[in-house]
Amino acid sequence: MSDALRALTGTAAGHDLALVLAPFALLIVPWPEPRMWPIFAGAFVIHSGYKYLQAMTYARGTYSVGHLGFYPFSAPHLGATGLKLAVGC
């Protein structure tokens, strides 16, 4: 069975199957505790803001900073900076 599911990964048939099974997953998987909802809301806001900023950089055309050749707002850079601020190293 797992080989059959792996074969569906990334295909239109897999997408259709996920759309059909998603409502059933909401009934089977337990909902998170209410104390976790603010964390999920914060993660959603951060993720949405990041995606918005990324779309704005794509709309502007160039994706590098001078000769350095890296994205100015990349997930690894933001994650490392956030971890450093949270841990205090």
Category of 69 on φ-ψ map: left (φ > 0), alpha (ψ -120 to 50) or beta? left
Same domain for 37 and 71, yes or no, is yes
Q: What is the pLDDT of residue 1?
A: 57
Residue 25: φ, ψ to 5°: -65, -35
Same domain for 42 and 85, yes or no, is yes
Q: What is the pLDDT of residue 67?
A: 47
Same domain for 69 and 53, yes or no, is yes
15-40 tens-digit pLDDT? 888 888 888 888 898 989 999 999 99
Range of the domain at 16: 1-30
DSSP states of 52-81 as a string? HHHHHHHHHS--S-TTS-S-SS-HHHHHHH
34-88 tens-digit pLDDT? 999 999 999 999 999 988 988 887 777 665 554 455 555 566 777 788 888 888 7
Q: What is the pLDDT of residue 5?
A: 75
Same domain for 89 and 50, yes or no, is yes
Q: What is the pLDDT of residue 34?
A: 95
Same domain for 66 and 52, yes or no, is yes
